Structure 1
Amino acid sequence: MGGVRAPDRRAEPGPVISVEQPLWRALTGYRVVTLGYAVALFALGYGDYGRPLIGAGYLAVLTAWTLLTLRRVTSAERCTTRFLALDLTMAVGGILLSSLADPAGRVGPTLPSIWVAGAVIAVAIKSGWRWAAFASALVGVANLMEDGHFSRSALHNVLLVCVASIAIGYVVEVARASERTLARALRIEAANRERERLARDIHDSVLQVLAMVQRRGTAIGGEAAELGRLAGEQEVALRALVTGRPPDGAAPPPRSEPGDAPADPGTAGSTGEARDPDELDLGALLTLASGGPGQPPDAGPRGRVTYAGPGCPVPLPAATARTVAAAVAAALDNVRRHATGPSGEPAAAWILLEDEPEEITVTVRDDGPGIPEGRLAAAEAEGRMGAALSIRGRMTELGGSARWISVPGQGTEVELRLPRQRKGARR
């Protein structure tokens, strides 16, 4: 009986890339560039200032502040509320000092010039559009006070900074909400993938044993029948657990339904070798599954399986080859359990392996009565996940697909496709 494996850590979602980080990097560059711009404007208009030493002193302090706090504007964690308050104070103070440095109003721009927009944008990225509106209003009031007569250009500059900062703050809030939604979706996807893996392993081991105990107990009768009944109840409860559906007190489902997989998927062949020690020959594994060379003497019902494939090895990563072979073994077990030939004898089965440049295709066909329309979906709804998990689930994890083609009275064909460029993916 196959055991349940340890949780696959590779199913855990990777870290979500923050959309804020590029904004912080851009802000860092903006502060440096606009500082150089403000210093250059002051140097060009130095002779027009009535008190140039006031301007020179402020710009010296602003230069030191900007360079010493570059790391503060590289992430939301480092950009603290205290820093933002001091940064806004530097911006507002520079605006108000402009009228003292240029009492005649001969120089147009304020001392910090467009550097002040960086302080407001930092608030927008850190705290969202509401605090950005407050910061831009504070800077706007300082600009209007410095201008004195509320000119059209001053109002234009104030509105421009206000609209830009609010827009950036809103975009950041939306991006953060999207990141949280994406991270939650990735966690749910990883949890569902792990749940499917555990359900598949349980189906291939514990559920098979419980079903066997129930059948044998019912056949023997007496005290064994009671044991079989209890095993059946536990099977129903366990199926409800692994499929996420409440049992609703339903009686145990019929024991022989399409889609159940073998108790030990490893019996599909675990000794096939390829030239690379990390690879296995899929053809060798399928040969063992068909009852070819190397098959143990008690292979039993699998003896009526015919294998056809390429004359050369079909190497795949070991885990991928074993997973495909396990899916094939599950399909063969369905034939053994549920298909009979025209005369009532066990149906014959054929395995065809096709090695193409773009993909590998394995086809499992039988000459049984076929699967009634809608039976696979009904079996999955009842919690019998053989086809959904043991076959389709395995192929989906590898990036491949599984398809059933069945015509009543003409047998069933299961087609497993594995793209070569994605072999081994999502395991």
Structure 2
Amino acid sequence: MLGIEGSFWRAIAVFRIASVAYAVVLLARAGGYAHPLAGWITIAVMAGWTAVTLVLYPSTRAWPLLLTDLGLTAGCLLSTLLVQSWADTASGAMPVTATWVAGPVLAWAVALGRRAGAVAAAVMSAADLWVRGGLGVDLTSLPVNGAVLLFMAGVVVGHVAQLAREAAEWLRRAAELEAMGRERERLARGIHDSVLQVLALVQRKGAEIGGEAAELGRLAGEQEAALRALVRAPASSEAREDQAKGATADVRELLWPYGDARVTVSAPVTPLVLPVETAHELSAAVGAALDNVTRHCADGTRAWVLVEEDAGRVVVSVRDEGPGIPEGRLEQAEADGRMGIARSIRGRMADLGGTASITSSGTGTEIELSVPAEPVARERGGRV
């Protein structure tokens, strides 16, 4: 559950234990300072709270625990007023808590991030200044090394802990995607060995027999192509979410699923990477163009989708062998309020800073979609 972050909490636990031991050594060497009983009581509280934090962190990281940790540590630091005299502090003695005061700063940083670590450092630094002022130390000449170190620890450790959490999340998602990929491969092998072979056999035999069997064979061929596209497609919403987080997507992976018995999709062997929103909008425009083929052309009309990169632009052409678009049909449809091509295709391309051109004749229609290829897309795609 904790993954990489767990190592931070183990390090904090070791630091707290070592700090208590260091405070014991300092107190013993100073002979208990001016008030030994108060000093040893403070040490006992520090040791007891250290044991509590070893049990509660990191499984419990709620605000009550974090606030209690900060408040109790500040209280132990303030107890220095009862343990030491002015002479002890003037001789350079550390507060009775010594380095133990950094414990809650580190805990806040790991649990809540660098800003929280800085806040905890500010609280502990203020308590330290209060103690030294209460013991009569001239604050204007007081070194600020301790406060600076606390702030640096809170900010740096908080930042590194956040990076560790992000890295752990990426590793988790990568493991999930790898597992899903293996499962798709297993299913693909099973489907290929059974369903796809049967559908291919039905298609072939139907074409040989002719008549109604030929129509059955054609339907079997369409289902075979659809299954093949499903097997090789990305892992649906999980893959799409991962692409969205990475802010880029390979256009080819979004266009492959359109391929079936009547639609042929052709693409380069190298990736064509675009910003994820651009890639999905381009794919949706292609889908709208293919829907028009289905609605306005005869059953079984063939269509071809070709995607390539040309002169810094990703270009997708959708061509069919239908009867074409009659002269004035698009203008009339737009005037009648039917905005399919105007919005689903041309509108999408305009929003992306791209273009959509339509060429039609009695032998078919070709829709060419073009969007700018981002520099990062060309670099990652391996094309210049």
Shorter-chain TM-score bucket reads: 0.5 to 0.7
How far apart are 1:17 and its partner, in Å?
7.4
Instruction: Give the aligned partner of residue 221 of structure 1.
Output: 210
The verdict on how the C-alpha distance between 1:206 and 1:192 changes in structure 2, with shifts beyond 3 A counting, is: same
Instruction: Give the aligned partner of residue 66 of structure 1.
Output: 50
- The code of the aligned residue for 1:128 comes to G
- The code of the aligned residue for 1:196 comes to E
Instruction: Give the aligned partner of residue 239 of structure 1.
Output: 228
Instruction: Give the aligned partner of residue 176 of structure 2.
Output: 187
- Where 2:144 maps in the other structure, the secondary structure is helix
How far apart are 1:56 and its partner, in Å?
2.8
| 1:92–1:142 contact (8 Å) kept in structure 2 | yes
**1:326-378: CA deviation from partner (whole Å, max 9, x where unpaired):** xxxxxxxxxxxxxxxxxxxxxxxxxxxxxxxxxxxxxxxxxxxxxxxxxxxxx
How far apart are 1:249 and its partner, in Å?
5.9
Q: How far, CA to CA, are the matches of 2:18 and 2:259 in structure 1?
A: 68
- Where 1:110 maps in the other structure, the secondary structure is coil
Task: Please point out which of 104, 107, 113 is paired with 1:122.
Answer: 107
The verdict on how the C-alpha distance between 1:160 and 1:178 changes in structure 2, with shifts beyond 3 A counting, is: same
- The code of the aligned residue for 2:100 comes to W
Instruction: Give the aligned partner of residue 285 of structure 2.
Output: none
Instruction: Give the aligned partner of residue 161 of structure 2.
Output: 172
The verdict on how the C-alpha distance between 1:65 and 1:40 changes in structure 2, with shifts beyond 3 A counting, is: same
Instruction: Give the aligned partner of residue 150 of structure 2.
Output: 161
| 1:143–1:154 contact (8 Å) kept in structure 2 | no
Q: How far, CA to CA, are the matches of 1:68 and 1:184 in structure 2?
A: 34
Q: How far, CA to CA, are the matches of 2:9 and 2:165 in structure 1?
A: 14
Extract unaligned runs of 5+ from structure 1: 1-15, 254-427
The verdict on how the C-alpha distance between 1:143 and 1:17 changes in structure 2, with shifts beyond 3 A counting, is: closer
Whose RCO is larger (CA < 8 A, sep 6+)? 1
Structure with higher helix content:
2
**Which residues of 2 match residues 285-304 of structure 1 at below 5 A?**
none
Q: How far, CA to CA, are the matches of 1:105 and 1:250 in structure 2?
A: 92
- Where 2:98 maps in the other structure, the secondary structure is coil
How far apart are 1:47 and its partner, in Å?
5.7
The verdict on how the C-alpha distance between 1:167 and 1:37 changes in structure 2, with shifts beyond 3 A counting, is: same
How far apart are 1:81 and its partner, in Å?
2.5
- The code of the aligned residue for 2:109 comes to A
Extract unaligned runs of 5+ from structure 2: 234-255, 265-384
**1:263-307: CA deviation from partner (whole Å, max 9, x where unpaired):** xxxxxxxxxxxxxxxxxxxxxxxxxxxxxxxxxxxxxxxxxxxxx
**Which residues of 2 match residues 11-410 of structure 1 at below 5 A?**
18-46=3-31, 48-49=33-34, 51-73=35-57, 75=58, 77-107=59-89, 108-148=93-133, 149-150=138-139, 154-244=143-233, 245-248=256-259, 250-251=261-262
Q: Once the two structures are aligned, what percentage of the paired residues are identical?
A: 42
Q: How far, CA to CA, are the matches of 1:209 and 1:186 in structure 2?
A: 34
The verdict on how the C-alpha distance between 1:45 and 1:151 changes in structure 2, with shifts beyond 3 A counting, is: farther
How far apart are 1:35 and its partner, in Å?
0.7
- Where 1:182 maps in the other structure, the secondary structure is helix
TM-score of the superposition, structure 2-length normalised?
A: 0.57
How far apart are 1:143 and its partner, in Å?
1.0
Instruction: Give the aligned partner of residue 308 of structure 1.
Output: none
Q: How far, CA to CA, are the matches of 1:126 and 1:238 in structure 2?
A: 47
CA RMSD of aligned residues (A): 2.2
How far apart are 1:70 and its partner, in Å?
2.3
Instruction: Give the aligned partner of residue 240 of structure 2.
Output: none
Q: How many residues align?
A: 235
How far apart are 1:94 and its partner, in Å?
2.0
- The code of the aligned residue for 2:213 comes to A
Instruction: Give the aligned partner of residue 373 of structure 2.
Output: none
The verdict on how the C-alpha distance between 1:189 and 1:55 changes in structure 2, with shifts beyond 3 A counting, is: same
Q: How far, CA to CA, are the matches of 2:183 and 2:44 in structure 1?
A: 59
